[in-house]
Structure 1
Amino acid sequence: GASSSVFSASSLASSLLSPFSSAVGLASSGFVSAAFSFTGDSTSFFTSSATTSACSVLGPLQHADYFGLGKLLSVRELFEARVHLGHKEGLLNDLMRPYLFGSRLGYHVIDLDKTLQHLFCALNFIAHVAYRNGIILFVTRHQQTAHMVEETARESHEFAHTRWWRPGLFTNSTAQFGTVTRLPDTVILLSTLDSVFEEHLAVKECNKLLIPTVAIMDTNCDPRLITYPIPGNDDTPAAIQLYCHLFKTAILRGKERRKKDEEAAARQQQEAAGTASDASKQPTSA
């Protein structure tokens, strides 16, 4: 039978909140009480009722899964999309060795359990950026999947760059565009390599400007300059399609949750104003 394990609340809080907290300069809180349940083919994240009430006071950053993204992820879906398939053994970047499950027929196999954990952290971060009305840029140089990336950006109401990257596009943006330009708050790379298998120029430019990056890291990639690396196959169209679907869902959920929270806050303000108005109209006793 499939084995199951449950991690403690403190380990979940540190593994999920710490990466995002480090990126925005916040410390993780001890108010989070959550559990991570993994059973063979599926993964689910859930929080206790005490967590829900605490998060309504402490804000979205204190919630382990504020946007309900844990239900989107499963090892089976990653396997069926061939996310586990790496490159030939001779192309391995040693920095990707911790993310390997093993090798088969001369090709490396990526550990999908680790992919799942990194993918959730990345999706959670992306949703928080969208929740705060941040600008997100999709980047790829694989022409085979460029149309999927552009369509994902269009449906997410964000931006995409799938052509040749002009050197200094970020670091010298004022000269490139002829005016002061707002740069993206997050860059999502469907592959950190360009069309000639060299590191994409966007990686170094984002690091120079402290722009957080989310990237799919195949076994021949260097994860050192990526804020949120996701070990996985970056060549197969089925895998790219799954990534695009998950990224789009995270962005849209972040925007929808912001809209709902703004409407709820507006209603609370109206109710508070109405209560104050009614109290002022009541006659005072002599």
Structure 2
Amino acid sequence: MSKLLTNFFNPTKSQIRTKIIKHRGFIPRTDKVPLQVPENLKQVQAELKAAKLPENEYLMHADFFNVHNLFTVTDLFNARIHYGHREGTLDDRMKPYIFGKRMGHIIFDLDKTALYLRKALNFAAHTAYRDGLILFVGRNPQCTNLIENTAKECEEFAHARMWRKGLFTNSVMQFREVTRLPDLCIFLNTLNDVLLPHDGIKESAKMMIPTIGVVDSNCNPSLITYPIPGNDDSQVSIEFYCNIFKQAILRGKQKAKEDAEKRKKPANIASSQTAEENVEKIAVKSSQ
């Protein structure tokens, strides 16, 4: 009897939810519809592999832009990427990326950092190859000039100032017109001045914008598409991140220019051949 009374006066969340749904006239679904896979899925995959478009070849390749040779684990160590914060500031979601502790400070596993960093560089190179807009975001006042100069050198954009709320989610009111949002955001600092999550990360997740973020030991990597575990406070580490991301973006753009020139060459050859044929026809007619 006591159990019945406790269940009656203290219902669970699922019981409350079913009561509200039934009160509104809806019947809760109990069946689970399986994911419907197209019948011609294998045919589509075979056509993509058979197509000789360079974009398909690049996507099938694990590391087409060779971003793995941009750095080594020794370079990460020299850039002080392995330094974390003190033990008491560790976020539980960062435990898989931790190697250990030394003298009260957290040490990152640089092998895992290198793996995640190469994935992020590969994605950045693909975005640059497809002419996507890339936005560098930082909040450290000491690195404002560095971040903006890096964006200028690779002909991209930067936002190293205070983030206004609604910059992505309410861009029409912020810019007074319809504005194209970035295709990729690279966060060199995922926390703001008061050690709270950066507002740009939440807005990027709401607008489904892919993000690359350097997450320190006191950060939350959940909302970041490509997290990079490592130090985000020292000047040396920020310079290292800016340098390698700039190289990856420039590699993608250089490859896009090369492919564009290759596509123009057959068209120029065909146009020159047709021009020569027209000249010969005119010469034949004039001789007659």
The normalised TM-score by structure 2 is: 0.75
- Show the counterpart of 2:167: 169
Alpha-carbon distance between aligned partners in 1 of 2:199 and 2:130, rounded to the nearest angstrom: 27
**Superposition deviation, residue 275 in structure 1:** 6.8
More helix per residue: 2
Superposed counterparts of 1:252-267, under 5 Å: 252-267=250-265
**Superposition deviation, residue 163 in structure 1:** 1.0
- Show the counterpart of 1:75: 73
Superposed counterparts of 1:30-179, under 5 Å: 58-179=56-177
Alpha-carbon distance between aligned partners in 2 of 1:162 and 1:57, rounded to the nearest angstrom: 32
Percent identity between the two aligned chains: 49
- 5+ long unaligned stretches in structure 1: 1-28, 31-53
Letter of the 1:158 counterpart: E
Larger Rg computed on CA atoms: 2
| Count of residue correspondences | 232
Instruction: Describe the shift of the 1:233–1:154 C-alpha distance in structure 2 as closer, same or farther (beyond 3 A).
Output: same
Deviations 1:170-200 (A, max 9, x none): 1001011111111111100001101111111
8 Å CA contact retained: 1:55, 1:62 = no
Aligned with 2:221 (options 209, 220, 223): 223
Alpha-carbon distance between aligned partners in 2 of 1:102 and 1:154, rounded to the nearest angstrom: 38
Alpha-carbon distance between aligned partners in 2 of 1:65 and 1:276, rounded to the nearest angstrom: 40
* 2:127 aligned counterpart, secondary structure: helix
Compute the RMSD of aligned alpha carbons.
Answer: 2.3
**Superposition deviation, residue 60 in structure 1:** 1.4
**Superposition deviation, residue 56 in structure 1:** 5.4
Alpha-carbon distance between aligned partners in 1 of 2:55 and 2:93, rounded to the nearest angstrom: 40
**Superposition deviation, residue 279 in structure 1:** 9.8
**Superposition deviation, residue 271 in structure 1:** 3.8
8 Å CA contact retained: 1:55, 1:63 = no
Alpha-carbon distance between aligned partners in 1 of 2:273 and 2:251, rounded to the nearest angstrom: 33
The normalised TM-score by structure 1 is: 0.76
Instruction: Describe the shift of the 1:56–1:179 C-alpha distance in structure 2 as closer, same or farther (beyond 3 A).
Output: closer
**Superposition deviation, residue 72 in structure 1:** 0.7
* 2:85 aligned counterpart, secondary structure: strand
Instruction: Describe the shift of the 1:59–1:105 C-alpha distance in structure 2 as closer, same or farther (beyond 3 A).
Output: same
Deviations 1:74-129 (A, max 9, x none): 00000000000011010000111000111100111000000101000000100111
